[in-house]
Amino acid sequence: KEIHLPLFAPEEKGHFVDNRDVAAMHILVGEHPRATGEIFNCCGPKATTGKEFAALVEEIIPTANVKFGYPWGVAQGVIEFDMSKMERLLGYRPHYTISDSLRFIFDWVNKGGLENMK
């Protein structure tokens, strides 16, 4: 099966974040008094290269034919984001790695994905 990654090339870095971490961060920022007036980055625990992303996909789906060049990567390049402010002020660190996210999505799709939400 052909799978197009959201990166242009193996050496490109992307900062992916699990939706469960996004939700937790938004709730924390909405409730924590030290967050008032602050701006925080919302990202995963570390930047992931296209090569690392491809290896994870191939580990989960051994028959995958991984392709690069998907246009989501337009704004990526080699940018890395920093969440140290969120950890320093609010004590929050992301819980889910890119591997956790990909496995969760793969399992969800195999269990029927959106079809089970009707």
* CATH number of the domain within which 80 lies: 3.90.25.10
Mean pLDDT per 10-residue interval, the chain, length 118 residues? 86 90 95 94 89 96 89 61 91 94 93 81
Q: Rounded to 10 degrees, what is the CA torsion of 85, 31, 17, 78?
A: -30
- 117 lies in a domain? no
- 57 lies in a domain? yes
- 118 lies in a domain? no
- 10 lies in a domain? yes
For residue 75, the enclosing domain spans 2-110
- 34 lies in a domain? yes
- 116 lies in a domain? no
**What does the pLDDT read at residue 30?**
95
**What does the pLDDT read at residue 74?**
56
Total domains in the fold of the chain: 1
Q: What is the DSSP letter of 108?
A: H
**Alpha-carbon distances of 19 from 63, 94, 100, 101, rounded to whole Å:** 26, 10, 11, 8
**What does the pLDDT read at residue 88?**
94
> What pTM did the predictor assign?
0.81
**What does the pLDDT read at residue 75?**
53
